[in-house]
Amino acid sequence: MNDMYPGIRLEAWNQFVDIGIVTSIESNHKQIESARKGQEICIKIEPIPGESPKMYGRHFEADDFLVSKISRQSIDACKDYFRDDLIKADWSLMVELKKLFEIL
């Protein structure tokens, strides 16, 4: 989506590297629950359980295109439980991510 929340799994699309899971978000040195596209934020990313940590500068760079890792199940959950909460831009991004991850 165009929002960032703790719990989102990030992937560096350019490198096809699963970076990890967002565990916290800060804005102006204060923890926030979510962030919207365009906001300047700092995020803490924890490694995916069972995988080695990915290192900035080695596995991904500042100019890499970071995307939320989605699945057919997460798309269906959005349709079933969050349909009214998502705006048109969110659904457009979902379509782009489906193509990116080759989800039917």
Domain boundaries, the chain: 1-69, 70-104
Cα 100 vs. chain centroid, distance in angstroms? 13
Per DSSP, which regions of the chain are E strands?
3-4, 9-12, 17-27, 30-32, 35-36, 42-46, 66-68
Is pLDDT at 1 greater than 70 in this prediction?
Answer: no
The structure's pTM equals: 0.77
pLDDT of residue 21: 95
pLDDT tens digits, one per residue of 47-90 = 999 999 999 899 988 888 888 888 899 899 989 998 888 889 88
How do residues 19-38 score in pLDDT, each as one tens digit? 999 999 999 999 999 998 88
Residue 40 CA to residue 58 CA, distance in Å, equals 23
Q: What is the CATH number of domain 1-69?
A: 2.40.30.10
Paired sense of beta strands 30-32 and 17-27, if any: antiparallel
